[in-house]
Amino acid sequence: MTEVLSVEVCEQLCDALPRAATVDAALGHIESARRALLGPGLLTVNLNATAPDDPPDEVQLQRLWSSDPQAYPVAGRKRKTLTRWTQHLLLRAEVFVGEGEAALAEVFDDHALIATLGLRAVVNVPLLEDGRCAATFNVLGTRARWTPQEIALVRLLALLATPWVLRARRDARASPPEPGSRPPPPSRKS
Protein backbone atom coordinates (compact mmCIF):
# COMPACT_ATOMS: atom_id res chain seq x y z
CA MET A 1 0.00 0.00 0.00
CA THR A 2 1.33 3.42 -0.96
CA GLU A 3 1.66 5.82 1.95
CA VAL A 4 0.06 9.19 1.25
CA LEU A 5 -0.27 10.69 4.72
CA SER A 6 2.66 12.38 6.40
CA VAL A 7 2.52 12.63 10.18
CA GLU A 8 4.26 16.01 10.05
CA VAL A 9 1.77 17.46 7.54
CA CYS A 10 -1.18 16.06 9.50
CA GLU A 11 0.14 17.55 12.75
CA GLN A 12 0.66 20.94 11.10
CA LEU A 13 -2.89 20.90 9.73
CA CYS A 14 -4.36 19.73 13.05
CA ASP A 15 -2.53 22.55 14.85
CA ALA A 16 -3.33 25.29 12.31
CA LEU A 17 -6.94 24.59 11.35
CA PRO A 18 -8.57 25.16 14.76
CA ARG A 19 -6.70 28.48 15.02
CA ALA A 20 -7.84 29.75 11.62
CA ALA A 21 -9.86 32.94 12.01
CA THR A 22 -11.43 32.97 8.55
CA VAL A 23 -12.55 30.58 5.83
CA ASP A 24 -9.73 31.93 3.67
CA ALA A 25 -7.15 31.03 6.33
CA ALA A 26 -8.69 27.59 6.91
CA LEU A 27 -8.76 26.75 3.20
CA GLY A 28 -5.20 28.07 2.88
CA HIS A 29 -4.08 25.56 5.53
CA ILE A 30 -5.98 22.77 3.78
CA GLU A 31 -4.37 23.75 0.46
CA SER A 32 -0.91 23.67 2.05
CA ALA A 33 -1.58 20.13 3.25
CA ARG A 34 -3.00 19.13 -0.15
CA ARG A 35 0.08 20.46 -1.94
CA ALA A 36 2.48 18.78 0.51
CA LEU A 37 0.69 15.43 0.24
CA LEU A 38 -0.40 15.38 -3.41
CA GLY A 39 2.00 17.72 -5.18
CA PRO A 40 1.24 20.34 -7.82
CA GLY A 41 -2.38 21.02 -8.63
CA LEU A 42 -5.37 23.25 -8.11
CA LEU A 43 -7.91 23.47 -5.32
CA THR A 44 -11.15 25.37 -5.76
CA VAL A 45 -14.32 25.46 -3.70
CA ASN A 46 -17.61 26.35 -5.36
CA LEU A 47 -20.88 27.16 -3.62
CA ASN A 48 -24.08 25.79 -5.09
CA ALA A 49 -25.74 29.16 -5.76
CA THR A 50 -28.79 27.78 -7.56
CA ALA A 51 -31.85 29.85 -6.71
CA PRO A 52 -35.44 28.58 -6.60
CA ASP A 53 -36.31 30.71 -9.64
CA ASP A 54 -33.42 29.39 -11.77
CA PRO A 55 -34.40 27.15 -14.70
CA PRO A 56 -34.96 23.57 -13.52
CA ASP A 57 -32.38 22.19 -15.97
CA GLU A 58 -29.53 24.42 -14.72
CA VAL A 59 -27.38 24.78 -11.64
CA GLN A 60 -25.44 27.87 -10.70
CA LEU A 61 -22.04 27.74 -9.01
CA GLN A 62 -20.07 30.55 -7.39
CA ARG A 63 -16.38 30.18 -6.60
CA LEU A 64 -15.68 30.76 -2.92
CA TRP A 65 -11.96 29.93 -2.89
CA SER A 66 -9.16 29.20 -5.34
CA SER A 67 -5.51 28.25 -4.95
CA ASP A 68 -4.90 29.95 -8.33
CA PRO A 69 -6.99 33.15 -8.34
CA GLN A 70 -5.32 34.34 -11.56
CA ALA A 71 -6.71 31.43 -13.57
CA TYR A 72 -9.79 30.83 -11.39
CA PRO A 73 -10.84 34.06 -9.66
CA VAL A 74 -12.85 34.01 -6.47
CA ALA A 75 -16.50 35.08 -6.85
CA GLY A 76 -16.57 33.86 -10.45
CA ARG A 77 -19.98 32.44 -11.35
CA LYS A 78 -20.98 29.84 -13.86
CA ARG A 79 -24.17 28.20 -14.99
CA LYS A 80 -24.08 24.51 -15.76
CA THR A 81 -26.76 22.60 -17.60
CA LEU A 82 -27.75 19.19 -16.32
CA THR A 83 -25.11 16.76 -17.53
CA ARG A 84 -23.81 13.43 -16.29
CA TRP A 85 -21.31 15.41 -14.16
CA THR A 86 -23.83 17.84 -12.61
CA GLN A 87 -26.29 15.04 -11.90
CA HIS A 88 -23.58 12.86 -10.34
CA LEU A 89 -21.94 15.56 -8.20
CA LEU A 90 -24.60 18.17 -7.51
CA LEU A 91 -27.89 16.28 -7.58
CA ARG A 92 -26.91 12.82 -6.31
CA ALA A 93 -24.10 14.28 -4.15
CA GLU A 94 -21.58 11.62 -5.17
CA VAL A 95 -17.81 12.02 -5.51
CA PHE A 96 -16.74 12.44 -9.14
CA VAL A 97 -13.35 11.22 -10.35
CA GLY A 98 -12.21 12.24 -13.84
CA GLU A 99 -8.91 11.01 -15.22
CA GLY A 100 -7.23 12.01 -18.46
CA GLU A 101 -7.77 14.79 -20.96
CA ALA A 102 -10.79 13.14 -22.60
CA ALA A 103 -12.61 12.82 -19.27
CA LEU A 104 -11.90 16.46 -18.40
CA ALA A 105 -12.99 17.64 -21.86
CA GLU A 106 -16.27 15.77 -21.44
CA VAL A 107 -17.25 17.61 -18.25
CA PHE A 108 -15.46 20.98 -18.23
CA ASP A 109 -16.00 23.80 -20.72
CA ASP A 110 -12.58 25.20 -19.78
CA HIS A 111 -10.67 21.95 -20.37
CA ALA A 112 -8.16 23.82 -22.59
CA LEU A 113 -7.22 26.11 -19.68
CA ILE A 114 -7.00 23.10 -17.39
CA ALA A 115 -4.61 21.44 -19.87
CA THR A 116 -2.41 24.56 -20.12
CA LEU A 117 -2.01 24.43 -16.33
CA GLY A 118 -0.71 20.86 -16.71
CA LEU A 119 -3.69 19.37 -14.89
CA ARG A 120 -4.89 15.96 -16.04
CA ALA A 121 -7.18 14.52 -13.36
CA VAL A 122 -9.90 15.76 -11.01
CA VAL A 123 -11.64 14.70 -7.83
CA ASN A 124 -14.83 16.66 -7.08
CA VAL A 125 -16.28 16.09 -3.62
CA PRO A 126 -19.78 17.32 -2.73
CA LEU A 127 -19.95 19.18 0.58
CA LEU A 128 -23.30 18.32 2.11
CA GLU A 129 -25.76 20.26 4.22
CA ASP A 130 -28.92 18.41 5.23
CA GLY A 131 -28.05 15.66 2.75
CA ARG A 132 -27.84 18.02 -0.23
CA CYS A 133 -24.84 19.34 -2.13
CA ALA A 134 -24.24 22.85 -0.79
CA ALA A 135 -20.78 23.23 -2.30
CA THR A 136 -18.05 21.34 -4.13
CA PHE A 137 -14.42 20.76 -3.13
CA ASN A 138 -12.45 20.38 -6.35
CA VAL A 139 -8.90 19.08 -6.61
CA LEU A 140 -7.13 18.85 -9.94
CA GLY A 141 -3.73 17.22 -10.23
CA THR A 142 -0.93 16.72 -12.72
CA ARG A 143 -1.15 12.92 -12.50
CA ALA A 144 -3.01 10.94 -15.16
CA ARG A 145 -4.71 8.71 -12.57
CA TRP A 146 -5.52 8.93 -8.88
CA THR A 147 -4.73 6.11 -6.48
CA PRO A 148 -7.49 5.00 -4.10
CA GLN A 149 -5.42 6.43 -1.23
CA GLU A 150 -5.21 9.84 -2.95
CA ILE A 151 -8.96 9.90 -3.55
CA ALA A 152 -9.54 9.04 0.12
CA LEU A 153 -7.16 11.84 1.15
CA VAL A 154 -9.02 14.39 -1.01
CA ARG A 155 -12.28 13.27 0.59
CA LEU A 156 -10.79 13.73 4.08
CA LEU A 157 -9.54 17.22 3.21
CA ALA A 158 -13.02 18.04 1.88
CA LEU A 159 -14.55 16.85 5.13
CA LEU A 160 -12.21 19.16 7.06
CA ALA A 161 -13.24 22.06 4.79
CA THR A 162 -16.99 21.43 5.12
CA PRO A 163 -17.75 23.36 8.36
CA TRP A 164 -15.75 26.36 7.13
CA VAL A 165 -17.45 26.39 3.73
CA LEU A 166 -20.93 25.97 5.20
CA ARG A 167 -20.26 28.83 7.62
CA ALA A 168 -19.18 31.05 4.71
CA ARG A 169 -22.31 30.02 2.79
CA ARG A 170 -24.56 30.90 5.73
CA ASP A 171 -22.74 34.22 6.23
CA ALA A 172 -23.15 35.08 2.54
CA ARG A 173 -26.87 34.36 2.71
CA ALA A 174 -27.27 36.40 5.91
CA SER A 175 -25.51 39.52 4.63
CA PRO A 176 -27.77 41.66 2.50
CA PRO A 177 -26.15 43.07 -0.63
CA GLU A 178 -24.84 46.61 -0.38
CA PRO A 179 -27.16 49.25 -1.86
CA GLY A 180 -26.55 49.60 -5.57
CA SER A 181 -24.33 46.52 -5.74
CA ARG A 182 -25.05 43.72 -8.14
CA PRO A 183 -23.54 40.26 -8.25
CA PRO A 184 -21.22 39.58 -11.17
CA PRO A 185 -23.00 38.17 -14.20
CA PRO A 186 -22.79 34.39 -14.43
CA SER A 187 -20.08 32.99 -16.69
CA ARG A 188 -20.73 29.99 -18.87
CA LYS A 189 -17.13 28.80 -18.38
CA SER A 190 -16.30 25.96 -15.99
Q: What is the pLDDT of residues 92-148, one digit of tens each?
A: 999 999 999 999 999 998 999 999 999 999 999 999 999 999 999 999 999 999 999
Helix then strand count (H, E) for the chain reads 6, 6
Q: Which of 144, 68, 150 is nearest to 110 (CA)?
A: 68
Is pTM beyond 0.75? Reply is: yes
CATH number, domain at 157?
3.30.450.40
Does any domain span residue 190?
Answer: no
Give tens-digit pLDDT for 156-172: 999 999 999 999 999 88
- Per the structure, the count of domains in the chain is 1
β-pairing verdict for 41-48 and 121-129 = unpaired
Does any domain span residue 79?
Answer: yes
Does any domain span residue 65?
Answer: yes
Range of the domain at 15: 7-174
Does any domain span residue 186?
Answer: no
Between CA 94 and CA 92 the distance in angstroms is: 6
Does any domain span residue 185?
Answer: no
Does any domain span residue 112?
Answer: yes
